[in-house]
Structure 1
Amino acid sequence: MKWSWKIGTFAGIAVYVHATFLLLIAWLVLSHWLAGQSLAATARGVGFVLALFGCVVLHEFGHALTAARYGIKTRDIILLPIGGLARLERIPENPRQELWVALAGPAVNVVIAGLLFAWLKLTHELTAPFGLGFVEGPLIERLMVANVLLVVFNLIPAFPMDGGRMLRALLAMQLEYAQATQIAANVGQILALFFGFVGLFTNPFLVFIALFVWIGADQEAKHVQMRSMLDGVKVEQVMLTDFHVLRPDDALSRAIALTLAGSQKDFPVVDDAGRVVGVLTQGDLLRGLQDRGAEAAVGSAMQREIERAEVGEEIGPVLLRLQQCACRTLPVTRDGRLAGLLTMENVGELVSIQSALQKRPHARPGVAVAKDARSSA
């Protein structure tokens, strides 16, 4: 993710902090300063937030390490002002596995809260239940309460919280995955409307939570819908076959001419045998023109370390690679030679076509496009 800095790697998983997280720390310092509090009080406030986000990191590692038990890797963990995000390579297809992965995060917070409670009892520092607080009080006590709140918040049965994924997993044990996701998303959006209504008359923060839940539920439903539409579709049924290629010894001026003459922005670069040796993106072209001029060779400006796909691969995993590499185009090869290009645009066109076909009476989702694509190959 852009504007993120790596702070370490644990259990083979990189942890990043987003720039906006630093804005949260700056806001805390400014709030304490404007309130006329001492430097010590400001340091305690910042220390509490850092300790709390340490618990959030452990929460995300609960998800990541449980997913690893099922062979699912975690790309990284990112700290944001609203919490943490463990970016799994994929969601478990088995509902029981998804349930355990979703449960693992809140379970970590239960363990942390339990350990802190035990420490407070052993040291006789535990406040009476009605005196417990999240804003004021000893650091250990506030952390205990914060972890309890994290458990409660994450168990709300609404996406993108863990509770939404648990609900979907439980429903998916009896229903189709897409249908289970839609029901869970609908439940989440009903809760979002409730939070928003209550927040208008009580705490405005509930309105923010309502928006967060509504958007999360909508995005999850659309993501699963798209995945179901692409299920079983091969790359060769979606890839572009009408495009221009460049050679490493072509001048950048040729890329300029092709760019201005059509709509293609990224160009695969092939050798004399038709093997892909790189990709020249629009950004690479502009940087090459600025640094070397229009007569410089394409090979001096192209990217050599690139992702690629095979014609026989299913589109789902390839689409995930396309999203992860932060690139717009993947070369598609057959027996080592360039056969086509895959872009987010033509995948989006497929989804639109599939969606239109699904609206036909008695249509079978995901079948018509695949058959048409095979017959035209």
Structure 2
Amino acid sequence: MGWSISLGRIAGTEVRIHLTFFLLLAWFGLVAGAQGGGGAAVSAIAFILAIFACVLAHEYGHVLMARRFGIGTRDIILLPIGGVASIERMPDNPTQELLIALAGPAVNVVIALILILFFGANIHPGNSDPAALQNIDFVSRLALINIVLVVFNLLPAFPMDGGRALKALLSYKLDKVTATRIAARIGQAAAFGLGFLGLFGNPLLIFIALFVFLAASHETYAVELGEATQKANMRDATITSFSHLDTTSSVGDAVKALLGTPQREFPVTDGAGRLRGVLTRDGMIQALASSGPDTPVLDVMEREIPTIGYRAPLSQAAELLHSSGKPLVGVVDDGERVVGIITLENLAEFMLVERASQGWRRSHGGDVRSVR
């Protein structure tokens, strides 16, 4: 994710922190300092850092449970609204998905119990009043926050943990796409509720609501795409007519290709036609501004672009594109020569065609074949 910096790798997973997180720290420090002086500012910043340590532990609950099922995690990003673990894929087995979803809140339950049983945290109901939080000790406040994290994350607001658990439970009786659609609709309804509450209380709820709403839409699209591509061949969504750059090209050559074609991503191939990288429009413009048109594309292209054989199923290419985070996947023949590319944009167009075809088939009694 842009605007984030790496804190290193912990237990095999990279941890990143968004730069806006430091604005959150500064805001809490300034507000507390204005009310109680330097000591209060330090205490407020320390408390926020302790909360996000608990959030990070929560995310590692998801990461380690997913790893138990053979699923990796690209990274964990800490945002002002919480943490996001970029798990490479969710399992098709609903029990596994349920366990991954509940692993995060379970970590917060354990943290709260440790703080209560071993550190003397007092979670008297009266302490849950926001106005009383400033008057109770550090450990009790942290225990209460962990309990709040459990309750909040278990709200059925897909794709939060509770919504993901709901989807897993629905998947025992329904197909994956239907279960996801139902959970996403419930999640979006919950997002409206959170946003409404945010208007009269904590503005942070508005940002959380927006995140939940957009994430639910994205998750539904990803599941529908996965379902559609399972039944499709690679050729159904492969771009076979495309411009490419060779390893001797310059940024100036790339600019000419950009202006002369509708492409935004340009594969860079060697003399044997093998994929060596890709130069995107954004990378091209950045290089043009910083080092000029004579810059070799080899100096500014993205490397380690994934490739896939032309006989592989389209679903495998879509999964590879998603997990790699790269702008495209190269489709190669038996000699590793690039014969096509697959991008997020043409997968989206494939989905539009697929939906239109399904509507056409339904209106004609299911007897009309797909336009593919």
TM above 0.5:
yes
- 1:63 is aligned to 2:62: yes
Deviations 1:179-229 (A, max 9, x none): 111111222233344445566666666555544443343333233223222
CA separation of 1:321 and 1:188: change in aligned 2, threshold 3 A = same
Structure 1: give runs of 5+ residues left out of the alignment.
none
Residue 162 and residue 303 in structure 1: after superposition, are their counterparts in 2 closer, same or farther (change >3 A)?
closer
* Alignment correspondent of 1:170: 169
Greater radius of gyration (CA): 1
Tell me if the contact between 1:158 and 1:191 (Cα under 8 Å) persists in the aligned partners.
yes
Code of the residue aligned with 1:130 in structure 2: it is G
Alpha-carbon distance between aligned partners in 1 of 2:214 and 2:297, rounded to the nearest angstrom: 43
CA–CA separation in structure 2 for the residues paired with 1:150 and 1:292? 48
Q: Does structure 1 retain, via aligned residues, the 8 Å contact 2:14–2:76? A: yes
Contact 2:81 2:208 in 1 (8 A): no
Aligned to 2:181: 182
Query: Is 2:21 aligned against 1:21?
Result: yes
In structure 2, the partner of 1:260 is 259
Match of 2:122 in 1: 126
SS in 1 for 2:345: helix
Instruction: State percent identity of aligned pairs.
Output: 41
Distance 2:290 2:128 in 1: 62
CA distance in 1, matches of 2:179, 2:337: 41
For 1:246 and 1:8, locate their aligned partners in 2 and report how far apart those are by CA, in whole Å: 35
Distance 1:207 1:87, change over 3 A: closer
- Render the CA deviation track for 1:284-337: whole Å, top value 9, x for unaligned: 545665677656665565455432222123333433443455543332211111
| Amino acid paired to 1:141 | S
Q: Distance in 2 between matches of 1:255 and 1:201?
A: 51
Indicate the residue corresponding to 1:358 in structure 2: 358
- C-alpha contact (below 8 Å) 2:327/2:343 kept by paired residues: yes
Superimposed CA distance per residue, residues 211-255 of structure 1 (whole angstroms, 9 cap, x where no aligned partner): 444334333323322322222323332111112333333565544
In the other structure, the counterpart of 1:269 is 268
Counterpart in the other structure of 1:330: 329
Q: Which amino acid counterpart does residue 87 of structure 1 have in structure 2?
A: S
- Out of 152-161 and 167-176, give the one that drifted further: 152-161
Q: CA RMSD in A?
A: 2.9
Q: Distance in 2 between matches of 1:192 and 1:216?
A: 10
Deviations for 1:318-372, whole angstroms, at most 9, x for unmatched residues?
A: 334434555433322111111112122211110111111122252799x955xx5
CA distance in 1, matches of 2:212, 2:249: 51
Partner of residue 339, structure 2:
339
Q: TM-score, normalised by structure 2?
A: 0.87
Which residue number corresponds to residue 88 of structure 1? Answer: 87
1:271 offset after TM fit, Å?
Answer: 3.4
CA distance in 1, matches of 2:217, 2:242: 35
CA–CA distance in structure 2, aligned partners of residues 221 and 198 of structure 1: 25
Q: Give the Cα separation in 1 of the matches to 2:184 and 2:283.
A: 41
State the aligned residue count: 366
Q: Deviations over 1:12-48 (max 9, x none)?
A: 011111101111001111212333x121111111111
What is residue 49 of structure 1 aligned with on the other side? 48
Q: 1:301 to 1:62 in 2, by over 3 A?
A: closer
**Contact 2:33–2:39 at 8 Å: present in 1 too?**
no
CA pair 173-244 structure 1, distance change in 2 beyond 3 A: same
Secondary structure at the aligned position of 2:360 is classed as coil
Which residue identity does 1:337 align to in structure 2? R
- 2:349 is aligned to 349
Q: Give the C-alpha shift of residue 11 in structure 1.
A: 1.1
Could you say which residue in structure 2 is the equivalent of 1:147? 146
Q: Distance in 2 between matches of 1:108 and 1:174?
A: 28
User: Which one is further off, 92-101 or 220-229?
Assistant: 220-229
Partner of 1:243: 242
Would the aligned equivalents of 1:133 and 1:145 in 2 still touch at CA under 8 Å? no
Deviation at 1:165, TM superposition (A): 0.4
The residue type paired with residue 22 of structure 2 is: L
Secondary structure in structure 2 of the residue aligned to 1:362: helix
CA distance in 2, matches of 1:180, 1:169: 8
